[in-house]
Structure 1
Amino acid sequence: TRAKLQRDYRRVANIQHDIVQKFTTMLVNDYDRIAIEDLAVKQMQMSHVASKGLHRSMFGYFKQVLKYKCILADRYYPSTQRCSQCGHVKTGADKVGLDGNKKHGTKHNEYVCYECGAVMGRDENAVRNLLALL
């Protein structure tokens, strides 16, 4: 029984690795520029249930495979804190976190630059910054 179970686990792992390899190859072939961000995943795991799902999703392996095919932005590159229009970097109490910004009353998914007044989605701003990094 143990041998059969190990064989089935190995088979599932091989299928998952094959899918990740094929998907990353497709991404590299279909898109001119791909940039991924090295995030602190440990801090993103909010509960035991969420961490289990995050681990099963194979983000680490996906990042490892894509890393040798693309550019990887440094974990400390402020893609979500830098304004993509004027270049101002938020620091201290002005930073936007997972729960937004309490000081300025913004949500976590919106970006407001306090220098030039630009208003856009946080993810849109981060993508523009990552593309500028390339």
Structure 2
Amino acid sequence: MTINKACPIVVRKRDGALELLAFEHPLAGYQLVKGTIEKYEPLETACIRELFEESGLNGVVESYLGKWDSNFEGQIWGFCLIKLLKEPSDSWVHYCLDDNGHNFRFFWLPLNSDLDDNWHPLFKGAIRFIRNHL
């Protein structure tokens, strides 16, 4: 299985609990930062690039968390834990150029919280993977 999707994972600790960086896509509900790995691009580079493109945040790869077969359109996700270079706000909006441009509303999801129907099943599966590998 060759990894073809990069998923940078950003977490923080608040009040003793881990929180995961997530965002609301205006057309597709709650998501994690994720994108296609370009030809010959290392996973680590793709994770840093996707994080910047979709959130405006800069970081460095702290560790590799593993790969996950999403069972969706041949997507094999690679996860890297990212350490941010600067502490972000509790929430913000970032204009992303993907799909002709969208405003993504970022927020921190308590890692152990229940996931409602605003989450696509694909991202619910990814979050289960992350919970098991952090």
Q: Same fold (TM over 0.5)?
A: no
TM-score, structure 2 as length reference: 0.27
Work out which of the two has the higher radius of gyration on C-alpha atoms and give 1 or 2. Answer: 1
TM-score, structure 1 as length reference: 0.27
Q: Which of the two has greater strand per residue?
A: 2
Q: Which of the two has greater helix per residue?
A: 1
Larger RCO (alpha carbons 8 Å, 6+ apart): 2
